[in-house]
Homo-oligomer: A and B are copies of this chain.
């Protein structure tokens, strides 16, 4: 049902350009900072036309979000798997927090853009927020029985991290330790 339309007439989408755009978006944003990356600079450096970018993504921010989500899958989610299986909250936070801090400047700008753009907000929730929230829920499942309480705790933990990122306050291992202590002990 998805792939029924696999072969449409006309020239197919260039995977080469797609990958080049995502790659350039990621590196430019890391090296120059979000503000100094433009749709033009991405397209130019990727050897692509600006239209090609806008054909597949609705905005510049969407490209960067996509690029970050791509990289994140490999760099963030893998290291956490052990912690998730063993319900090790502290271990989980010790992996998540430095990873988020490392891309903090990008995250903060994406969150900012998302405030002006509901579509991007939905995309952000879907690609970055929710995928990280679910594992935390699993870890907390054995400690907090009530679903509402659990959800509030999820908001408190990720909320604290985002809050500090957005306000230029320390996002470090000490925070991981304190946040881990917020949850009731495993039973």
Binding site for B on A (CB under 8 A): 35, 108-109, 111-116, 121, 124-125, 129, 148-149, 151-153, 155-164, 166-169, 174-175, 178-179, 181-182
Contacts and interface: CB of A to CB of B under 8 A. Distances in A.
A111 B166 contact: yes
A contact patch SS: helix
Q: How many copies does the complex hold?
A: 2
A153 B175 CA distance: 10
A151 B157 CA distance: 13
A175 B161 contact: no
Contacts of A155: 159-160, 163-164, 169, 175
Contact of A121 (B124, B167, B181): B167
Contact of A163 (B109, B112, B159, B174): B159
A149 to B, nearest CB: 6
A115 B125 contact: no
Contact of A116 (B109, B169, B175): B109
Contacts of A160: 152, 155-156, 159-160
B121 A115 contact: no
Contacts of A161: 159
A153 to B, nearest CB: 7
